Structure 1
């Protein structure tokens, strides 16, 4: 409720007129907008929430890539209201053209694949500019490891693109204050493993994925902070060798968080892992573990879990 009231307060702020055209940096490209988009499309639940947090629902033609992978929770379902889902998974070009889209907010592996049908290059001839999620830029360029600056950068750039820079700066400032108010976890920095999915080999978060930033902000360290990947698959042997003290489960898809926990607890291969032995598990919804407005509350959830693990 506090977050919803704060969002409404941000939307009520007077907006300083912004001159167009405006140019923003999107990964390794500069993208110029002659005017604010009027029929934007976002892909994935976290990018859609960021658009909504900035009060841009009336500028959207719809969204893609949610129901085919995840379930809308009550908060997002209420915010989306009558916005149509144009495609349950990644959209093809024809979906965006059929929606008369004039903007696509997506990321690499968040609605676009390198060399795929839908990319900034393939959409340019149809007059559909693309803004790329900052966290995902590692797939097309070198960048620093994931941080909250990725999220702030996206909010700021969307504010410029849509001509609402004051809203964006107010939102960023509220996030910074909330982060600063998070309780400290103590002197220890628990070793954390991010378990997204997979039994034969786990899909996890490396150096360039948002959970690394969330874990650090909450006072822990991702055991794969030195893994020079975003979201990727590794071997269980590496996880066992690094002996995580806390296991962060990302909850989405057909396999529940409880099923993922049961898999690890019941498997003798993990019996020596501290987090399994001491039952130190914490769960984040996908929308909180990927770049978006719920990252702030995610830090609080993790900080509480880390504090319990240290008791």
Structure 2
């Protein structure tokens, strides 16, 4: 993972659970909750390198590395277990039904959570969207496996993001994101909800696939994701192992850097110009308000319109821009299917409504 490419990542949050009653009724409820928490256990999952972690029951105190893991737990109905997060969601980053509750989750780090704070958080699970905090620049070192074990914290990854660079082949669909949803559903005892979410994702992407099935691959428009926040001096390309390549491909586009093996790679503006994309995504990170986001999108567009290397590109001259935040494209989650549909509608408006 590359520091600049990840530094502003996406978000989500916590769902409140309310219990009422007392006496024998409460004892019965507690017994039922215990039974439910252990249903389907033990569950064993692996990290990016294949090391295994086993859960005998659902975790009760979860810390998330960023808003992406937080959001996924909210969708699963396990948001009430979240006791802290790093990279908290900005205003407007989460679906409305989760935003208020997300704002109540304790922020353990505005960026990566400091090692000491993470180990002292009292968590029994750390959900990590990054392969290692050492990839997050000068934001501190990650705890070692022994330190996690000593603190009683099990370490689980969202592999669609954390393990992207280690994929053996290009990613062209959302199957790895769906696998993350299903696996986290097993870990948190919410497998039924996870299955419902995956079914909904597949329905959306399936409709897009069917609508575009007779469009030849070489006739699909080319697409460049311009990560404005990664810097303008040297653009950062999303390569074929990154989540964004799957989103773009499934939306009926052709990532102009799909021949790049890995997740991210710095390229030159001459490389972008040579590939002459039909469409350009102005990928900016959430600024905390709709007004601030619009301003950032405008700044990204203005840069391309005035920068000598890009101002004469046909896509720039004709304003063929998509204003979609980078987190929604480069970090996997339930809403990745919505991003597929949004891009597909822009690229193929007559086919995808």
Report if TM-score (shorter chain) is over 0.5.
Answer: yes
**Structure 2 vs 1, CA of residues 207 and 304 (structure 1 numbering), >3 Å: closer, same or farther?**
same
Structure 2 CA distance, aligned partners of 1:269 and 1:114?
30
SS at 1:268's partner residue?
coil
Matches within 5 A, 1:54-133: 54-66=76-88, 71-73=91-93, 75=96, 76-108=98-130, 113=135, 117-119=141-143, 121=145, 122-133=147-158
**Structure-2 residue corresponding to 1:151:** 177
User: What TM-score do you get using the length of structure 2 for normalisation?
Assistant: 0.75
Displacement after TM superposition at 1:119 (Å): 4.9
Which has the larger strand fraction?
Answer: 1
Displacement after TM superposition at 1:99 (Å): 2.0
1:203 aligns with 2:236: yes
1:291 aligns with 2:332: yes
1:162 aligns with 2:188: yes
Structure 1 CA distance, aligned partners of 2:262 and 2:116?
31
- Contact persistence 1:65–1:111 (CA under 8 A): no
Structure 1 CA distance, aligned partners of 2:335 and 2:271?
30
Structure 2 CA distance, aligned partners of 1:309 and 1:246?
16
**Structure 2 vs 1, CA of residues 298 and 227 (structure 1 numbering), >3 Å: closer, same or farther?**
same
SS at 1:86's partner residue?
strand
Matches within 5 A, 1:1-311: 18-28=39-49, 29-66=51-88, 71-73=91-93, 75=96, 76-108=98-130, 113=135, 117-119=141-143, 121=145, 122-135=147-160, 136-139=162-165, 141-146=166-171, 147-182=173-208, 184=211, 187=215, 188-197=219-228, 198-252=231-285, 256-289=296-329, 290-307=331-348
Alignment RMSD: 2.7
**Structure 2 vs 1, CA of residues 189 and 265 (structure 1 numbering), >3 Å: closer, same or farther?**
same
- Contact persistence 1:245–1:274 (CA under 8 A): yes
**Structure 2 vs 1, CA of residues 308 and 278 (structure 1 numbering), >3 Å: closer, same or farther?**
farther
**Structure 2 vs 1, CA of residues 278 and 230 (structure 1 numbering), >3 Å: closer, same or farther?**
same
- Contact persistence 2:221–2:278 (CA under 8 A): yes
Structure 1 CA distance, aligned partners of 2:37 and 2:248?
36
**Structure 2 vs 1, CA of residues 166 and 279 (structure 1 numbering), >3 Å: closer, same or farther?**
same
**Structure 2 vs 1, CA of residues 129 and 51 (structure 1 numbering), >3 Å: closer, same or farther?**
same
SS at 1:63's partner residue?
strand
**Structure 2 vs 1, CA of residues 132 and 143 (structure 1 numbering), >3 Å: closer, same or farther?**
farther
**Structure-2 residue corresponding to 1:11:** none
Structure 2 CA distance, aligned partners of 1:18 and 1:247?
47
**Structure 2 vs 1, CA of residues 296 and 119 (structure 1 numbering), >3 Å: closer, same or farther?**
farther
Show structure 2 runs of 5+ residues with no match: 1-14, 16-35, 288-294
Show structure 1 runs of 5+ residues with no match: 1-6, 8-14
Structure 2 CA distance, aligned partners of 1:253 and 1:200?
21
